[in-house]
A and B are shown apart, each in its own frame.
Chain A
Amino acid sequence: MKLDSKIPEGPLAEKWSKHKFNLKLVNPANKRKYDVIVVGTGLAGASAAASLGELGYNVKAFCFQDSPRRAHSIAAQGGINAAKNYQNDGDSIYRLFYDTIKGGDYRAREGNVYRLAEVSVKIIDQCVAQGVPFAREYGGLLANRSFGGAQVSRTFYARGQTGQQLLLGAYSALNRQIANGKVKMYSRTEMLDVVIVDGKARGIVTRDLVTGKIEAHSAHAVLLCTGGYGNVFYLSTNAKGSNVTAAWRAHKKGAFFGNPCFTQIHPTCIPVTGDHQSKLTLMSESLRNDGRVWVPKVAVKGLKASDATKIAEADRDYFLERRYPSFGNLVPRDVASRNAKYVCDEGRGVGQTGLAVFLDFADAIRRDGKKTIEAKYGNLFDMYKQITGDDPYTVPMMIYPAVHYTMGGLWVDYNLMTTVPGLYALGEANFSDHGANRLGASALMQGLADGYFVIPYTIGDYLANLPYEKVSTDRPEFKEAIQSANAQIEKLINIKGKKPVDQFHRELGLTMWEYCGMSRNEEGLKKAKKKIQDLRAEFWANVNVTGGAGELNPELEKAGRVADFLELGELMVDDALNRAESCGGHFREESATPDGEAMRKDDEYAYVAAWEYTGDNQPEVLHKEELRFENVKLTQRSYK
């Protein structure tokens, strides 16, 4: 199968307009004859479901949470980028495009990224019209702030809760369509399979998480807006329920998986305190503007934050300032993360576990006064104190990197369609716009761009060629999918082994973090592959899933998700093994400059790795989509 990205020909700035004109339309009166399934109600899913309902399609939307408002987009803090140039500081669509392509380390498509920048301006208009209370200046106009990877102020924000406000905006639009009868909402419902009829996605199979009932739903098209797979690492900043199940089961039905090894690891998270840890909390990156990152020059075992002042200035290693004198503590996320790992690997980490570095505000407080620091970071300092019990005004914070976002995902073309006709992937669930690394404040932009402004156009082109007839869920394809979903549940419940699901998940996470985390090499990845295979075999022989199938059963939900993570983990390792270059969040130790910095290999790896599932325990087949750069010149990043 040849991968066709369907990027329109012609000048960059005209591609999307031209494409929109060439797309087929569905007559307004005929839209009601088409049913669309939307899985997931985060920014991408809620905005898509609402927009398609407004257009007249019949939408069925699904989420596993108790309400669509709880999708994990809600947790995004910082902001959303848009090339409004309200600040008159030289921003433009082209500049946002350029920053995003460069920030992604030249592993994203030019056409997609330009379109993202182009529609970014409309997103802000839409959200304001919905009543999103963005921050404003005294004159009543919208405020902006600057964010990593950009030299202009283009980030719109609602305090530290931008994701929450944007999601509640999309949720309100969704609610309006529910009220109008155009969207039927299924909460506490998890998708277990995609159903393919005559080569096209024609429905899904779900489990009602309260009653355990397995059901089939048919439609003319299926949209997966199911987020990222960071929880394959067990510990991440994702919500506990975030999972890969929908995307993975679609993958097993023929949707290629793009760049699975591209994960983003955020440098400023609160460190792990013990085995009980269930999740990691992100502290805004903005802290690195004033905090200085350091560890002792010579290892001090179990150094507490309260004893940090006992380490004399001369005995401290401000390792980011030392290695990167021009960017210092403000190097990009991947560089900051990797260097924290190195000093901890050397045994110089601090805290009880030795897996932390100090982020020290003492100098900033001395220089600017406590009041100024409080005004800038007060809420973050409070949050830190609440979680750790330490007061960052008097002792340094302790931070450590954590998995935050996955740039990889289902491969999609310019229309957001996967390799399965009629099956689309939006938002973090697809691989498309961030290349090998995502810039801050770009995830919200992409989720809403896909849902509000891309899919409403591109889905029409597909549906216009499809007959109105619905397919019946009595067809054998649906029956088979229901049967196999039931069979897996029965199997999980009947293993009755010794180990809780969480323990398998934690072990998988440790392997992924150790060998497929911030820094990767061939030997480690090969080891990881074997470990994951062994763990997967043990899982299917020794997992203990309590409770029954016909009731609310969180253990069963987790078991199904971990089963998929175990398979995805192996594919991530394969992808990381294949990509013997360092780019963005993917650092291969074999591909480094003599002083240990990342080295991209554009001649060999300027492609998207799209993996095809070929059967249980069969090696996946790699397909390459070459990336063509006609507008930007590829350069190596340097922060020295």
Chain B
Amino acid sequence: MKITLKIWRQKGKDQKGAFKTYQLDHVSPDMSFLEMLDVLNNDLVRKGEEPVAFDHDCREGICGMCSLYINGRPHGPLQTTTCQLHMRSFTDGQTITIEPWRAKAFPVIKDLVVDRSAFDRIQIAGGYISVNTGGVPDANEIPVPKKIADEAMDAAQCIGCGACVAACKNASAMLFVSAKVSQLALLPQGKPERKERVEKMVATMDAEGFGACTNTRACEAECPKGIKITNIARMNREYFSAMLTSYEVAAGAGGD
């Protein structure tokens, strides 16, 4: 296959970026999208040019490190992670445009690499159950209905890649935040802290500069793990009931 690549190149956070065009004429349809970029990069190195920086690690669709906005869609044309996208999803002669995630809360570090540490900070604000190691009850002491456990697992599958934010016209992180809020609100172990948790996580989400949700469902359509927007509905419910019944928490405050 022959393809033309239009790739966003940006030297650093504060530098101006621009698209650069590259031709590749020895692409195999069996290559993964990232392997295609490896080939490009090795060509560039041989020519003494600097390769394109992009994030990636496990290459099996679970670590959430890979990103890329491909032809206007996060992770490209399939509802999967970029590392699980193969070149057979494209046609010979096609032009492929590759951009980084675009969101105020995800500043570009270099080329296609963005800073997603805002996601970590939201989790640090309250995405946990406060139990120390040891001294916990036997695992079977509290039965959890299978349906509830399954639904918690559906939400827990989020890989934190940020495709939901990249897909959203408001760069909202509601799907990401609601996945953790849902998982822990559904399980009996998470109930004692459910009110503070949602308040703290939402406050941090807002402080980090993510936008509001306007129910376009673009996040759900692009999520590589199929996280449902019913989680957002559940988070809103959790949030409103917490606002009505619990004490106020300062924005961004974490910890016990």
Residues in A lying within 8 Å of B, measured CB to CB: 47, 50-51, 54, 65-70, 72, 74-75, 84, 86, 122, 124-131, 133-142, 158-159, 161, 164-165, 168, 171-173, 175-176, 178-181, 185, 187, 210, 237, 239-241, 273-274, 276-279, 281-282, 386-389, 452-453, 456, 498, 500-503, 544, 546-547, 551-552, 554-555
Contact = CB atoms under 8 A, between A and B. Distances in A.
B143 to A, nearest CB: 3
Contact of B128 (A51, A130, A158, A278): A130
A308 B255 CA distance: 60
Contact of B58 (A128, A130, A239): A239
Contacts of B144: 136, 140
Contacts of A241: 57
Interface stretch (B119-127, B211-219, B239-247): B119-127
A433 B41 CA distance: 40
Contacts of B117: 66-67, 187
14 contacts: A70-B63, A72-B57, A75-B63, A129-B137, A130-B131, A140-B145, A141-B140, A142-B140, A171-B123, A179-B255, A389-B30, A500-B46, A501-B45, A544-B45
B42 interface: yes
A69 B160 contact: yes
Contacts of B46: 498, 500, 544
Contacts of A168: 156
A74 B159 CA distance: 9
**Chain B contact residues: helix, strand, loop or mixed:** loop
Contacts, number: 224
Contact of A276 (B31, B58, B127, B138): B31
A51 B256 CA distance: 16
Interface residues of B, number: 82
Nearest to B138: A125
Contact of B189 (A131, A141, A158, A185): A131
A74 B146 contact: no
A171 B123 CA distance: 9
B75 interface: no
B63 A65 contact: yes
B62 A278 contact: no
Interface of B: 11-12, 28-32, 34-36, 38-39, 41-42, 44-46, 48-51, 53, 55-60, 62-65, 80, 84, 86, 88, 109-110, 113, 115-117, 119-120, 123-134, 136-140, 142-146, 149-150, 152-153, 156-157, 159-160, 183-184, 187, 189-190, 254-256
Contact of A133 (B55, B63, B138, B183): B183
Nearest to A498: B46
Centre residue among A68, A124, A277, A554 by max chain B CB count within 10 A: A554
Contacts of B35: 276-278
Given A70-B64, A164-B62, A180-B256, A276 B38 contact: yes
A551 B48 CA distance: 17
Given A172-B123, A173-B133, A70 B57 contact: yes
Contact of A141 (B49, B60, B143, B184): B143
A482 B202 CA distance: 41
8 shortest interchain CB distances as A-B pairs: A140-B143, A179-B254, A172-B128, A129-B136, A133-B153, A179-B255, A133-B152, A500-B45
Contacts of B127: 172, 175
